[in-house]
Each structure stands twice: as structure tokens, then as C-alpha cells.
Structure 1
Amino acid sequence: MENGLISVDRWESGSQAYFLTHLHSDHTQGLSSSWSHGPLFCSSITAKLLPIKFPRFDLSLLRILHIGTSHTLSLRSPSSSSTTTVRVTTFDSCHCPGSIMLLFRGDFGTVLYTGDFRWESNCEKAKIAKEALSAALQDDDGVDVVYLDNTYANPTYDFPSRSVAAQQAIDIISSHPEHDVIIGINTLGKEDLLLQIASVLDIMIWVWPERLQTMDLLGLPDIFTTDTTLTRVRAVPLYSFGADTLEALNLIRPTTRPTIGILPSGLPWIKKSLKKGEFLSGSFLTSRYKRSRPQSANNVEVHMDKQIGKTSPKVFHQHIYSVPYSDHSNFEELEDFIKLVKPTDLKGIVSISTCFIEPMYYFGRLCTGNQPVQVQQLHDRFKMKETDEIKGAVCPETSSEDDDVELNRSKESYKVKESGKRVATVSPETSSSEEDSVELDRNKMKALKVKLSGFRMRRFSALRRTRRGAKSSDLDYFDPDEQMGPS
């Protein structure tokens, strides 16, 4: 496969066609209103929403990919100038409105790029997408490479389906009938959560004006409002959601209308010794938890159960609940997906995750390629025991829409040769005697220590959005020189 042909969620110049899986900011790093490097292929919903994010974008560059439909591209090799045909099929990835999964087929073989996705067993849209993908693969010899959303490619992540987590949020709201409720959400995503809350409780939900515009473009039911007098439940941007906000709201109205917050995420949070007036920051997960125990606002200590999401929501602040609602597949769902696709090789698209584990480590046994040496090397490098408790794991949600914790890997790394002369870089795990407690922000958070193995940590605000990318792909290939059309 040649470079400089197609880019997926990468926006540097040099490619001849660009594919956007969805509009979350970690997938649009480098994309802007003035971007004009080539045709941009995306779903119809993404095309409809894109002008909100990039108001002056040249819409003539957009090429629509229809879900479940195969499209034909006429490609030209930069090295030989010969023309070849590539078919691209899109599937609903069920991550957020407009998100897609891409299946590329041609002389090079078959490549599946999942983008961010969540295919739950109880989700009708996911069931349809699975059936469509299975049908599309029937005539193929198999998938050569899967580029996988490995956000939660760790057995520690065992959170429930989104409908179950949404019911947990509903129960929290119902159990606080005299409280105002604020829910931290992204600029896109979690719409089904809000719809389920509104439907079950028969209420309207406040959203900020730009979010209301998105809801209208998505054609959602008329249950959203910008009038705060019409509802006690408000959905607010994540960057404005925090302990300081909740404390301020409760100080302003301590008796008439107290306020609680709900944070929906597959990411659990650990926080200790938050001083009064401090902004809640630092989103860290270790694989060693205890049961939740809410404390006062001046001395917050949070513990969580080892198996995320199988228990009740967590209280990590006097006024804030964490609900295990995630738009990324959990470990079991990823395993089922790999069993369905049976790829020869597997690559993770989360390449700078705070807790990167090469997907072949856990899923290599499910791949059809003859790679026992590679998998064994990964096991030797990580020196991990395949138990529910993964020593030293620190794995927050990787989307920059969801968090902004950045952990830099140790400079020491091992290069593991893979088939096709590709190279994966993994960080070694230190021995148990070398596990150090890393102290973050000593002036403000002296009591917060997170045990790490093979990682160095830098502290960022946990709820404000960052402008750095969280995912990347080396899927730079193909050469579409004609506008795509249905075949």
C-alpha cells in the first residue's frame, strides 16, 4: 500500500482524498474552515453538522458516503501511474451522530477502519450494522487489517450498555426531586442519553444555544430548550462542568434549590483531598478500587469497584455522580467484534492513549494471521497477568472531547516486528519494586497519588477540552482522482 493516497481522520496535505469518520475534535485536528487539501468524504449527517464547527468551510469539497452502500473510486498509483479500482463501504459505528466505519477493498486486499464505535448486543442500530458488515465480507477471503478503536481494549473495562447506564442517571435524578441537575456532555454525542431521560421523566432538557442548533439539525424531538424556567435538568458543556461550578451553585442557592451534577462516561474518576474552591481536575483510573464513599466537599476521597459499571453510579464529589455511560465499545464488545471479523492483523487507532496496550496483546489469538511469536513478545514485554486486575493500568477516556489528561510514555520502548515489516512500539512495564507513586500538582493535590508502571504523567484540567489529537492512523493509502459515486 502506497503512502500519499488516502488519509483517514488526518488532515495534512499530500493525500488525494480525505475521510472523516466523525466530528469529535480529536478526529478533526488540522481541519479548519480554510482547509482545502482535497475532497473530503463523510456521512450525510457529518456533512450537515460540519458548517457549525467550521462556519466558512468550502462545502464543494464534501463527498457524501451513504450508510450501507458501496462506493467506487478510480485510483491512480503515484509510483506507477496505473489506475486501480477501490470499493469503499460505510457502516454506522454507533458512536455519535454521523459516525461511520469504513471498509476498503481493492488489489491491496481488505482493510477495515472502525473509527470510534460501540456495537452493543442490545442496540438495534448496531445489530443492523453487524449484519451489513457480515454480508459485505462474505465474498472476501478475509480482512487483512483492522484499524480498531482500542480505547477500552483492556479487560478492566466492563461497563454496561448505554441504556442501562442511562437508567442509572434517571434513578439519580428521580431520587433528587428537589434538586436542579446538570449533566456534562460534549458538543456532539450523548443525545440518546438525554432523550431517554426526557422520555422516562416526561421533562424538557435545557441545552446551550449552539447545542440546540445541533439538536434541530439532527431532527430530534422538540424536548430541548434554552429557557431555564421550563426544566430543572440542564445539559452543559464538559468544559464548564466541575466541582467549583457545583459548589458555587450550591452556595448561591443553598436552601431553595440545591444542585447536583452527573458525569456520563466510561471513564471512572479517582480524586482525593480536594480543597475548598479548587477546580476538580485529574481524571485517573487505576485497576484497584474500593466501594464508593462520599465525603465532605473539603475532603473528597473516591473509590470505585474493580469491575466498572456492574455496580451503582459513583460519587466522586459531594455534588457529582459518575455514570458509566460510554460511546466506545467495552472490552467484551471489542472481543466479540474481532471474533466476527477474524482479521489477519490488528492495529489500534488510539496510538497516544494514556494507557496504550497493543491490541494484539489481548486479541492476537483471535486473528487468523500466523503471529504466535509477535503475541508472545507482547506478553513478555508487558509481563502482565491475564486477570481482572491489571497492575499499573491508568486508562482515562482518550477522546479529547471527553478529557484532557495526557500521560507521556517512558522514553524506553521496545520495537516489536510485525508481519508486513510493520513495527509496533510498546512501553515496558516496570517491576513491582519499581512502581512509584506519582504525585500530581504538589501544591494543590498533595494527597492524590496514582500508581503507574512505565508512565510519566502531566496534569491537565480534566473537564476542559484540549486541542490536541488523541487518535492517529497510519492508514495513508489509495488515490481517488474522481468524485465518489454509488456503484
Structure 2
Amino acid sequence: MAPSCPICAADLNGLDPDEATRHVNACLDGNAESATPDSAAKLMPTDARSRFARKAAVPRPGQVNPFQIGGSTKLSAFSAIMSGNAEDAAWATAAAAEEASRGKPAYQRTCPFYKIMPGFFICVDAFRYGAVQGCNAYFLSHFHSDHYVGLTSSWSHGPIYCSTVTANLVKQQLQVDPKWVIALDFETRFDVPETQGVTVTMIPANHCPGSSLFLFEKTIGRGPNPKIQRVLHCGDFRACPEHLAHPLLMADVVDSISGRTKQQQIDVCYLDTTYLNPRYAFPPQNDVVKACADMCASLKDENVSWEVARGSNSMTHFVSAAPKEEEPSKPHGRLLVVCGTYSIGKEKICLGIARALDCKIWAPPGKRRVCAALEDEELMARLTDDPRAAQIHMQSLMEIRPETLLEYLEGYQSHFSRIVGFRPTGWNYRPPNSRSDTNPSIPTILTSPHWRSSFSSADLVPQRGSTRRAACFGVPYSEHSSFRELTLFACGLRIGKIVPTVNVGSAASRAKMRTWIEKWAAERRKSIRGVVNVSELW
């Protein structure tokens, strides 16, 4: 099967691994789609931008939703078929509209149904569509450009709700008028104005700094037992045990008055399906951070080589053809570590290595300005504006390759004599041979030891072209949920309906995702509780 981008489904056949990785990482950070509109906006005369902004401020109807939140889950066979047909048609319409509107201004776009919370007067991550008719509250899950694209200093279409960190960045980086930006506190229920009674609770998404899950709730009906509609929007997230144990998400809760256990359902979950593919069952984030930190800690000893730090001699295959750079008996010299990052994201791996080395971190001025908005005391305490005083440098993920690392080292040769670079991304993960990703069963995914990926410094494989002086490592560190984590999340919660939000542009991709969503639902139904006990399976 020809390789394809897990985000935009572009054919990557013919690209070398570096080019393919750069493409996918650009998509993950949102740059692939937003570059053209942003560039066009910068070149556009001021009066033209003003006209476009005025047109975008005129509310346009969004796409009609093919389903209703809180509807009956017990449908007749005929109703189920008709409902499925309506959804298929809606997805096809949304995909065609997105494709046709590429490069067009907001006022010529139609907001797709999966960004509109039906009956809630709310849109999530839908700024590229301008003002949406019937939407009185706009939510931003986090500050990555594929989610905030379309949000500019001319925004005037309605209040923007987000976390404090995201609000800081929206005002600082995009120059949005602060009167439109409303920062919410995590774990605090908030009444959303002009939504006829909707409340929202923001839950940490375990993605990038400030990233949020939004749990929307609305009481329907009156009387002693009114129905509460509950909608979870995941934005981008990395599922973790804390999500399944969260008191507002967990499948069963204890009533504070009666002491009885009662079921708790999420009616609709808008799910980050970036890696909804068995190939992407990469290891836990903490394992990867520790592996990188352990290697760098070993390399503090100037007499330790990469091979020894990895606990393996397999790097010889990669460096044997390189010129002999120094006698083995000589010290290897002071280490410089370069970590690839996005505009925001990947800070955990930098901090993990910094703790192991007990050192400072340097970042370019623009990145330092962004870091200051993250309100992370430890990160700010370790940051310095002197690159020579820091053993860790933050750089763009796209720029880290063996040949560029060696060139980078030359600029600091009076202070550092060897360099290692880390390119963190989940996309280039290769599963072990012991695991079959050809239609595995849900119990196998959940319980088989072959699906519980582990990672250590011995698993760090240098990219071709690495030498003992400059080595580059692609590491399976991701801030999106792995395939197995998505399976744990979806099987361990009581969810009425899952709506995918990523990789929805092609019918083939949607069909594959639907298959897994249906398998998750079937696995939940097998349990007498209606959910799978996954607490011991992480």
C-alpha cells in the first residue's frame, strides 16, 4: 500500500522519509492548509482586507446537522438506514464544500456540521468560516494553526472562549481585540451566555499547553428528572487514564445523596481521530521522554559514545562509512541537544531532558515570547537568551536533520563539540514485527502484550547520515492519542455517538474509521455494564 499522509491523505509515494515527515508534521501543525490563505492575506491591500472582514461578519448558515443530540438510540431498521444515509450525504457534502473552498475567503465558505454543536448555538474551532448564523459562542480548543486559522485582528463575530494560555496567545500572536477573548478556568462549570442554558466545563486535553476538552451540558425538559444532554468535544488530545477517571466523564459515578452507583453517558463525542489506524499504536509519552533523557544523561560523560548511551552497538551500521573523526580514546566533548518543536508543543520532551542534564534551554526570540505566554514556571526558569549557556536548543521540527545538525554545531564549536537532535513525531513510528495490524480484534488491542508498546534508549535509532559527532533521532513522541489509546478511551466510556473530526475528507477514510467506531460500540455492548473495564490496561 502506498504511504499517505494521515492528516490530508496526500499520496507520499516517491518522497524520501525526510520529505514525507516534513509534510506530515506541517499538516499536524496546520501549516499545510493555512499557508496559502495567510500568504494571500499578507499581500492583500488593506482596503481589500477590510472589505473581506465586513463580508465575513455577515452571518452565513452553517451546514445542517444530520443527527440530533440526545435523540433515541433505539431506531427501527428502516430509521437506522435512513439516518445512516443522511449522515453519509452530509459527510460527502461537507468534504466537497471544503475542497471547493480551498483558498477562498471566509464569507465564501460554509461551516461543516461537525464543527457546530446542534441546538447549542456553539461552534468549535470554526474560525475560517467567519460569522456562522445561529452561533453565539465560538470555542477554540488550543493554539495550533489548523484550529485557529481564520482568526485575525479583525475578528468581531462573537465571543471566543478558551483556556488562559490559549487566550494569552490569541491576544499576543494574533492581535485579536481582548474584548472578544474570554479565558475560562479548567474544571469549573461556566454558564455560556446566549445559548439557552448551555454550560461548559473545560478539561485538560494532554495535547499542547492550554489545550482543552470541552464538556457541554444542557438541561432539556422540566420536572424532577429532566434530561441533560452532554456533548464532549476533544479538540486535539492524547487520551490518558486521567480522562477515564474524570468525575464528569467516567462511565459510572456514585450519587452524592443516595450513595448509589449510577450510569453516566456522553451523548455525542467529537473525537480527535488523527491516528485512528492500527499502524499508529506508538508507545506512552512518558516512556519516550525518559528514553531521550536517559540517553542525554549518559552522554554527560564526555567519554561515552552514542552506542554506549543506547546500550547497543547497532549504530555502527550507520556510521561505519563516515570518516574517522577522532580517536576512540579521546573525550567526545561537551554535548549540545537540539529538540524539534512546533509553535507550541513538544515542551515536555525539552523539559525532561533539561531535568536529566540539569541545564538551561535556549529558544529563538519568537519562541521565547510564546513560552512566556504559557505560564509555565519551570520552563521560564530554565530558559535563557544566551545559546552558549544552554545545552538544549529549541528549533523548528522541520530543520532537524543530520546534515543541518552538523552545520548548526559549527556555529558553536568553541562551546560544544558534539550534537544530538531529536525529531519528535508519532507519524514515523514503526510497530514491532510481533504485532499484526491487519484487522486485529478489540480484545487483542486492549490486552495483548504485543500492543502495549514500550520504549527505552536502546530503541533510539539514528537516522542515516548520522555520525558520532552529529546524530539525529526520530522519536515516536506524539501529543495526539495513539490508536490503542483511542480504543481504550472509546471502550472505557459510555458514549452514545462518536463523530470523527480528522481525516474526514475522503469516503474511504471515513469508512475505515466508521468500522473501528462500530467495533468499539460492539465491544461495549458485550459487557454487562455497557463499557469495558480498561483501568488496568493502560
CA offset digits 1:34-92 (Å, max 9, x no partner): 222111011122112322321x210111122221122223546xxxxxxx322222211
1:40 aligned onto 2:160: yes
Q: Structure with the greater relative contact order (CA < 8 A, sep ≥ 6): 1 or 2? A: 1
**Which of these residues, 461, 475, 489, is aligned with residue 323 of structure 1?**
475
1:229 aligned onto 2:388: yes
Give the Å deviation of 1:141.
6.0
Counterpart CA distance in 2 for 1:20 and 1:36 is: 15
Give SS of 1:60's match.
helix
Aligned positions of 1:37-186 closer than 5 A: 37-54=157-174, 56-75=175-194, 84-106=196-218, 107=220, 109-121=229-241, 126=242, 130-134=246-250, 142-177=265-300, 178=333, 179-186=335-342
Partner of 1:313: 460
Partner of 1:208: 364
Counterpart CA distance in 2 for 1:176 and 1:85 is: 57
CA offset digits 1:278-302 (Å, max 9, x no partner): xxxxxxx799899xxxxxxxxxxxx
Give the Å deviation of 1:334.
1.2
Partner of 1:192: 348
Does 144-153 or 354-363 show the bigger shift? 354-363
**Which of these residues, 377, 388, 392, is aligned with residue 220 of structure 1?**
377
Give the Å deviation of 1:208.
1.5
Letter in 2 for 1:314: V
Does 88-97 or 357-366 show the bigger shift? 357-366
Give the Å deviation of 1:24.
0.9
Seen in structure 2, the aligned counterparts of structure 1 residues 369 and 268 have a Cα distance that, compared at 3 Å, is: closer
Aligned positions of 1:251-400 closer than 5 A: 257-268=417-428, 310=455, 312-317=459-464, 318=466, 319-352=471-504, 356=509, 358-367=512-521
**Which of these residues, 100, 110, 121, is aligned with residue 5 of structure 1?**
121
Partner of 2:404: 245
Seen in structure 2, the aligned counterparts of structure 1 residues 241 and 53 have a Cα distance that, compared at 3 Å, is: farther
Partner of 1:21: 141
Give the Å deviation of 1:93.
0.8
Letter in 2 for 1:366: W
Give SS of 2:192's match.
strand
Aligned positions of 1:337-486 closer than 5 A: 337-352=489-504, 356=509, 358-367=512-521
**Contact residue 136 and residue 194 of structure 2 kept, 8 A:** no
Seen in structure 2, the aligned counterparts of structure 1 residues 156 and 353 have a Cα distance that, compared at 3 Å, is: farther
Give the Å deviation of 1:115.
1.1
**Contact residue 341 and residue 347 of structure 2 kept, 8 A:** no
Counterpart CA distance in 2 for 1:96 and 1:34 is: 26
Letter in 2 for 1:351: N
CA offset digits 1:425-451 (Å, max 9, x no partner): xxxxxxxxxxxxxxxxxxxxxxxxxxx
**Contact residue 68 and residue 132 of structure 1 kept, 8 A:** no
Counterpart CA distance in 2 for 1:227 and 1:330 is: 37
Partner of 1:481: none
Letter in 1 for 2:171: P
Give the Å deviation of 1:158.
2.4
Runs of 5+ unmatched residues, structure 2: 1-67, 69-117, 221-227, 255-261, 301-332, 436-449, 527-538
Partner of 2:531: none
Question: Which has the greater radius of gyration?
Answer: 2
Give SS of 1:229's match.
helix
**Contact residue 155 and residue 176 of structure 2 kept, 8 A:** yes
Seen in structure 2, the aligned counterparts of structure 1 residues 119 and 29 have a Cα distance that, compared at 3 Å, is: same
Counterpart CA distance in 2 for 1:5 and 1:73 is: 10
Counterpart CA distance in 1 for 2:239 and 2:524 is: 27
Runs of 5+ unmatched residues, structure 1: 77-83, 270-284, 291-304, 373-487
Give SS of 1:181's match.
strand
Seen in structure 2, the aligned counterparts of structure 1 residues 365 and 205 have a Cα distance that, compared at 3 Å, is: same
Counterpart CA distance in 2 for 1:206 and 1:69 is: 35
Give the Å deviation of 1:341.
2.1
TM-score (norm 1): 0.60
Counterpart CA distance in 2 for 1:359 and 1:130 is: 26
Counterpart CA distance in 2 for 1:227 and 1:254 is: 15
Partner of 2:224: none
Give SS of 1:52's match.
helix
Counterpart CA distance in 2 for 1:90 and 1:306 is: 31
RMSD between aligned alpha carbons? 3.6
Higher helix share: 2
Counterpart CA distance in 2 for 1:336 and 1:325 is: 19
Seen in structure 2, the aligned counterparts of structure 1 residues 224 and 356 have a Cα distance that, compared at 3 Å, is: farther
Does 98-107 or 359-368 show the bigger shift? 359-368
Q: Percent identity among equivalent residues?
A: 28
Seen in structure 2, the aligned counterparts of structure 1 residues 30 and 127 have a Cα distance that, compared at 3 Å, is: closer
